[in-house]
Amino acid sequence: MAYANSNYSDVLATTIESRSGIVADNVTKNNALLTRLREKGRYKPFTGGSTILQELSFQANSTAMYYSGAEVLDISPADVISAAQFPIKQAAVAVTINGLEMLQNSGEEQIIDLFDARLDVAEASIENLISTGIYSDGTANNGKQITGLQAMVVASPSTGVVGGIDRATWSFWRNQTFDFSSDLGVSASSSNIQTGFNRLYAKTSRGSDVVDLILLDNNLWGFFMSSLQNIQRFPGSSKMAELGFVASKYMNADVVLDGGIGGNIPTSTGYFLNTKYIFFRPHANRNFVPIGDERMSTNQDAIVRLIGWAGNMTASGLQFQGVMTE
């Protein structure tokens, strides 16, 4: 295949290769949940299989017992480990340069400048696609979207199937909820937001196993901040704030505004997350990297390279997660 400048194909390929790691970093740096998951070692690539398996413990070991002296102990096998199965989702973005642009841009520096500009747009587009998916219910694009928080942590957790596990059958797979209208009989406000926080935090806690990240939309964030100002109590430094997010603290959890311009969190919603049990699972060989070689249409004068991603978000303990609604 001949091009106006034979360097274009190689330069495009190497430019994408050198920036693929940057894309993966930017996706996490611009999303509060993914930032926390990477920080806590929950950003775990997988290497193969038809689905992504996330191991979990679904019940206590029934052989635990008190005994006296030489009493016979129960050594029967205990089935306590299972796995949730999540489908592999795929995403891609195209970087294209046509023949006229090849002719107009001569010299390697001009080529790189053109590719850089195109890559900036492509990277921002796929970053936004993944970030939107983190909050999704996974049904967009005929179910091709990431399995996001609206599928895992829901207002009606006793129905539906997540990761192949039926919530109607298995209560351990149901997240916790707090709704101001049904639980308090009033709308959320700065005067009752702390009550809502206290109740949902308690419902999601098991000893020292507690929520570490709270994501709020504009409305709940406004009420939370007003409640702090009303009682003149400003919590200590937040790790997320140090990383550039608009954040505060509640108990030991970082409270992050994930609304604002371009925010994807649903309106009047807050997620109380124990990220010990949430994972971001990209495929080790398809984590924002080039897909195959350059492509050229038989009836178009253009080179196309694809940047691709495959994987999903998974969970191993939905009972430790909570959602707050008005």
CATH number of the domain where residue 134 is located: 3.90.1690
Average pLDDT over all residues of the chain: 83
Residue 77 falls inside a structural domain: no
Residue 231 falls inside a structural domain: yes
Residue 196: per-residue pLDDT: 97
Residue 240: per-residue pLDDT: 72
Q: Which residues pair with 89 in a beta bridge?
A: 311
Distance from the Cα of residue 77 to its chain's centroid: 36
Asked if 290 contacts 47 with a C-beta cutoff of 8 angstroms, the reply is no
Residue 217 falls inside a structural domain: yes
Residue 294: domain span: 7-58+84-325
Residue 5's pLDDT band (boundaries 50, 70, 90)? very low
What is the distance between the alpha carbons of residues 19 and 13, in angstroms, rounded to a whole number? 10
What is the distance between the alpha carbons of residues 162 and 83, in angstroms, rounded to a whole number? 11
Residue 291's pLDDT band (boundaries 50, 70, 90)? confident
What is the distance between the alpha carbons of residues 314 and 231, in angstroms, rounded to a whole number? 38
Residue 186's pLDDT band (boundaries 50, 70, 90)? very high
Q: Phi, psi (5° rounding) for residue 41?
A: 75, 25
The stretch 104-117 carries a mean pLDDT of 67
19-33, 47-61, 150-164: the lowest-pLDDT one = 19-33
In the predicted model, is pLDDT for residue 156 greater than 60? yes
| pTM for this entry | 0.82
Residue 73 falls inside a structural domain: no
Residue 228: per-residue pLDDT: 87
The stretch 160-175 carries a mean pLDDT of 93
Residue 305: per-residue pLDDT: 80
The stretch 27-40 carries a mean pLDDT of 83
Two tokens at 306? 């694809």
What is the distance between the alpha carbons of residues 92 and 125, in angstroms, rounded to a whole number? 10
Residue 48 falls inside a structural domain: yes
Residue 255 falls inside a structural domain: yes
DSSP H helical ranges for 185-303: 193-203, 218-230, 239-242
What is the distance between the alpha carbons of residues 307 and 21, in angstroms, rounded to a whole number? 11
35 CB burial (10 A radius; 0-12, 13-18, 19+):
buried
What is the distance between the alpha carbons of residues 224 and 154, in angstroms, rounded to a whole number? 21
How many other C-beta atoms are found inside a 10 Å radius of the C-beta of residue 48?
A: 8
* 166 DSSP assignment: E
Residue 159 falls inside a structural domain: yes
Domain count across the chain? 1
The stretch 276-300 carries a mean pLDDT of 85
Q: What tens digit of pLDDT does each residue of 228-262 get?
A: 876 555 555 676 766 667 788 999 899 999 877 76
Two tokens at 219? 């409305």
Asked if 60 contacts 277 with a C-beta cutoff of 8 angstroms, the reply is no
Q: Which residues pair with 95 in a beta bridge?
A: 305
21-35, 52-66, 231-245: the lowest-pLDDT one = 231-245
Residue 149 falls inside a structural domain: yes
Q: What tens digit of pLDDT does each residue of 126-136 get?
A: 888 988 899 99
